[in-house]
């Protein structure tokens, strides 16, 4: 009996303890905490960045191919001695402008003059001998073979005379065309042999601006097209295309093009850099300030616009023309909303609050009027 009472008391005590523990657990707020911890927080929308924009319509402009190049004289020739001799006279110094035929250097020609006189005397002698044999042949005093021998001796003498005259002419190294003496490698007293270098001579009356065009641009250029080049000095020169390579360079896959520029007064200097500008095609383009150009993560130059979804969008710049008034960009929609302020603070794809420039200008004007009142 006592054992049963004790057993009932112990069961009641355990049940009461369990109830108390559950009550304390619920009261402590731990119930449902795990569900609350796993619950997703409410989604918070990021605020839109405010940017100033301008909506504009494209205009037709003549796209200009702009490429860096270099200048060079139209011709460069390396003059060499055409006969042996000693330099006797210097007719031009480096940098001198010469007309065709002017003497650059002259070799001592005294022995050549003597050879010429001897050759002339030999020809006269052979002519007398031939005439005599011809008369004798008509009277049958000499054979046909003897007459032909006289003919051969006369022809040989004439050939020697021609060679002597040329040799005398070779004593003078002359300007092959109007141009300038770039360099000279000999001085008075130097002995030269045939083939030895004498001077480098250039045609600086015509300057060539050369550059390499991409396959895309080369298709718009043909011989005879007018173009211009901006020199490193800031001067702009104009001329005509004289050459377009028919085959691309194997290494660069580009096409060589040459612009011919008149330099009759010799004021332009060859060998410098130049920016070649060739009109290409008419395109629709937007004129913007160069300050609106920006870079993407890949380093491409472009401009940011607001697309139809209200997002900032980076568009790689296709510069059709560059003038003092700005740059003209092709490849944009005909009507485009361009970000003019804040383009550096919004990422491509971000939603933006586009504020037209006209609204900003109106607000500023109203504020100014209120301040005056």
The pLDDT confidence band at residue 128, using thresholds 50, 70 and 90, is: confident
The CATH number that applies at residue 136 is 1.10.287.470
Q: Is residue 21 part of a domain?
A: no
| pLDDT for position 184 | 95
The CATH number that applies at residue 268 is 2.40.30.170
Q: Is residue 337 part of a domain?
A: yes
Q: Is 318 found in the same domain as 250?
A: no
Domain residues for the domain of 315 are 51-58+289-372
Q: Is residue 142 part of a domain?
A: yes
**Residue 123: pLDDT above 90?**
no
Strand order in the sheet with 85-90: 172-174, 103-107, 85-90, 191-192
Question: What is the chain's mean pLDDT, rounded?
Answer: 83
Report the alpha-carbon distance of residue 294 to residue 300 in Å, rounded.
Answer: 8
Most confident of 12-21, 171-180, 322-331, 364-373: 171-180
Q: Is 294 found in the same domain as 359?
A: yes
Percent of the chain at pLDDT exceeding 90 = 49
| pLDDT for position 19 | 44
Q: Is residue 196 part of a domain?
A: no
Tokens of 25: 């657990």
Q: Is residue 198 part of a domain?
A: no
Q: Is 277 found in the same domain as 313?
A: no
**pLDDT 10s digits, 239-273:** 999 999 999 999 999 999 999 999 988 888 899 99
**pLDDT 10s digits, 292-337:** 998 888 888 899 999 999 999 999 988 888 888 899 998 899 999 9
Q: Is 360 found in the same domain as 324?
A: yes
Q: Is residue 32 part of a domain?
A: no
**pLDDT 10s digits, 16-52:** 454 444 444 444 444 444 444 444 444 455 578 899 9
- Look at residues 170, 194, 213 and tell me which one is the last residue of a structural domain: 170
Q: Is 297 found in the same domain as 324?
A: yes
Q: Is 301 found in the same domain as 234?
A: no
Q: Is 226 found in the same domain as 271?
A: yes
Overall size of the chain counted in residues: 373
Q: Domain count for the chain, please give it.
A: 3
The pLDDT confidence band at residue 372, using thresholds 50, 70 and 90, is: low
**pLDDT 10s digits, 132-172:** 778 877 777 778 788 788 888 888 888 888 787 777 778 88
Q: Is 295 found in the same domain as 257?
A: no
Q: Is residue 222 part of a domain?
A: yes
Q: Is residue 321 part of a domain?
A: yes
Q: Is 310 found in the same domain as 237?
A: no
| pLDDT for position 279 | 92
Q: Is 298 found in the same domain as 270?
A: no
- Look at residues 281, 313, 336 and tell me which one is the last residue of a structural domain: 281
**Other C-beta atoms within 10 Å of 16: how many?**
10
Are 59 and 141 within 8 A, CB to CB?
no
| pLDDT for position 60 | 92
Q: Is 352 found in the same domain as 316?
A: yes
Are 292 and 278 within 8 A, CB to CB?
no
- Rg (alpha carbons) of the chain, rounded to whole number: 47
- Look at residues 244, 262, 281 and tell me which one is the last residue of a structural domain: 281
Report the alpha-carbon distance of residue 362 to residue 167 in Å, rounded.
Answer: 89
Q: Is 273 found in the same domain as 217?
A: yes
The structure's pTM equals: 0.62
Report the alpha-carbon distance of residue 167 to residue 117 in Å, rounded.
Answer: 13
**Which one is predicted more confidently, 133 or 363?**
133
């Amino acid at each position: 009996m006592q054992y049963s009472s004790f057993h009932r008391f112990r069961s009641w005590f355990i049940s009461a303890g369990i109830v108390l523990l559950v009550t304390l657990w619920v009261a402590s707020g731990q119930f449902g905490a795990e569900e609350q911890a796993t619950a997703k927080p409410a989604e918070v929308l990021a605020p839109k960045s405010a940017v100033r924009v301008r909506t504009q319509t494209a205009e037709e402009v003549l796209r200009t191919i702009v490429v860096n190049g270099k200048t060079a004289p139209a011709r460069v020739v390396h003059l060499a001695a055409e006969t042996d001799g000693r330099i006797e006279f210097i007719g031009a110094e480096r940098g001198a402008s010469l007309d065709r035929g002017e003497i650059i250097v002259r070799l001592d020609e005294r022995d050549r003059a003597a050879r010429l006189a001897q050759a002339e005397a030999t020809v006269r002698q052979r002519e007398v001998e031939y005439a005599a044999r011809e008369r004798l042949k008509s009277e049958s005093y000499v054979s046909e073979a003897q007459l032909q021998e006289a003919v051969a001796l006369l022809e040989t003498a004439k050939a020697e005379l021609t060679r002597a005259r040329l040799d005398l002419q070779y004593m003078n190294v002359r300007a092959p065309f109007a141009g300038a003496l770039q360099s000279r490698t000999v001085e008075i007293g130097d002995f030269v042999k045939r083939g030895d270098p004498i001077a480098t001579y250039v045609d600086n009356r015509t300057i060539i601006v050369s550059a390499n065009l991409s396959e895309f641009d080369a298709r718009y250029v043909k011989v005879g097209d007018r173009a211009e080049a901006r020199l490193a000095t800031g001067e702009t020169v104009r001329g005509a295309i004289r050459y377009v390579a028919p085959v691309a360079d194997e290494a660069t896959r580009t096409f060589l093009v040459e612009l011919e520029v008149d330099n009759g007064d010799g004021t332009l200097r060859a060998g410098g850099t130049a920016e070649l500008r060739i009109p290409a095609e008419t395109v629709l383009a937007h004129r913007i300030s160069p300050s609106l150009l920006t870079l993407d993560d890949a380093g491409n130059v472009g401009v940011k616009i607001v697309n139809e979804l209200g997002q900032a969008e980076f568009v790689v710049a296709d510069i059709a023309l560059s003038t003092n008034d700005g740059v003209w960009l092709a490849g944009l929609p005909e009507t485009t909303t361009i970000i003019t302020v804040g383009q550096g603070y919004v990422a491509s794809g971000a939603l933006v609050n586009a504020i037209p420039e006209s609204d900003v200008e109106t607000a500023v004007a109203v504020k100014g009027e209120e301040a005056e009142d």
